[in-house]
Amino acid sequence: MDKFFNNSDIQTTVYALGTILLLAILYIIANYTLRKLGANPKYLIPRDTIKKVGTPLFLLFFAFLIGSQPLQTILRVEDFSYVIGKTSTLLIIGSITWLILVALKVTKKLIIQNYDVQATDNLKARKIYTQFNILERVFMVLVVLLAIATALISFESIREFGISLFASAGVAGIIIGFSAQKMIGTILAGIQIAITQPIKIDDVVIVEGEWGRIEEITLTYVIIAIWDKRRLIVPTPYFIEKPFQNWTKSSSDIMGTVFIHTDYHVPFDELRGELTRILESTELWDGKVNVLQVTDAKERSVEIRALMSALDSPTAWDLRVLVREKLITFLQENYPESLPHTRLYIKNMNDQEAEKE
């Protein structure tokens, strides 16, 4: 019996089989646990996430398996132990990176699913969407860069080459640094937008004279959906360096105005009553603001402003169009003399002679 246990080949085989069995048991337990969590609606892990985790989890256990020294001894591949070891290291780094990226996406999905951007009052939801969309990209880039750096550092020859390259590239590094300054500034502007949020997803903005909604925000550029289905691509530093209009910065509701030019004979009280009737008859009005004022009096006409409120800017636009049309129709049908007129007074000959006398 002592001879049996003192045999190095037998010990190696036992260690190898024990390693394989342990890793297999751990993999089965982890896989079974994740599937149970995904199948039970009380838990937070979505079912489709289990499938995404399965592949990197298998690669991780496989990397530990092929990196096992007893297994290499049994398979008699000790001569390739360096290559196998580096392969195992790269697989471990890659699978862990994969798992972290999946975890980031799952975390984002679990958080933003509690907020509805399509809701009427969606200010908080748009804030959350904007922050997570940008910060997710930042963390993904950082995780991938760290994974690549870790993989390169694991190779001594590449590490020495990198050190010598950095040591001999001082001037080149300065030139590259100045060249990349614009790109770095753009990325930092994207991060600043995620934190300070001068704009958010689905914000209504006016940029370069164009009215539209913020459709997508990345680290380097912003996509604005114009009302006529065009897309305006704007670099992120624009929203840090230049002024622009944001109609939904603090809330979705907005004021709408309608200007009408009329004659001096217009009955203001009747026009106010008609504005009230128009607003109360439509669902576009949110019931908050209803004002009609004379804002200017010119030599030939009177400027009247109708002020109203709506839940959001598209609704406010439709409400303004409706009110303008209805008010003009009201004046045409009931007070046509209130429409703007150009008056021309012609004196007759008797009047001129009377003035001369």
> What pLDDT was estimated at residue 350?
59
Q: Closest Cα partner for 222 from 92, 213, 230?
A: 213
Whole-angstrom distance, CA of residue 139 vs CA of residue 137: 6
Q: Which residues contact 230 (CB under 8 A, 6 or more apart)?
A: none
Residues 29-67 have pLDDT tens digits of 666 665 555 544 444 455 566 666 667 777 777 777 666
Query: Is there a contact between 213 and 203 (Cβ–Cβ < 8 Å)?
Result: yes
pLDDT single digits (tens) 74-94: 555 565 566 667 777 888 888
pLDDT one-digit tens code per residue, 172-225 = 455 555 555 677 777 788 888 878 888 888 888 889 888 888 888 888 889 999
Q: Name the residue with tokens 């993904």.
A: 140
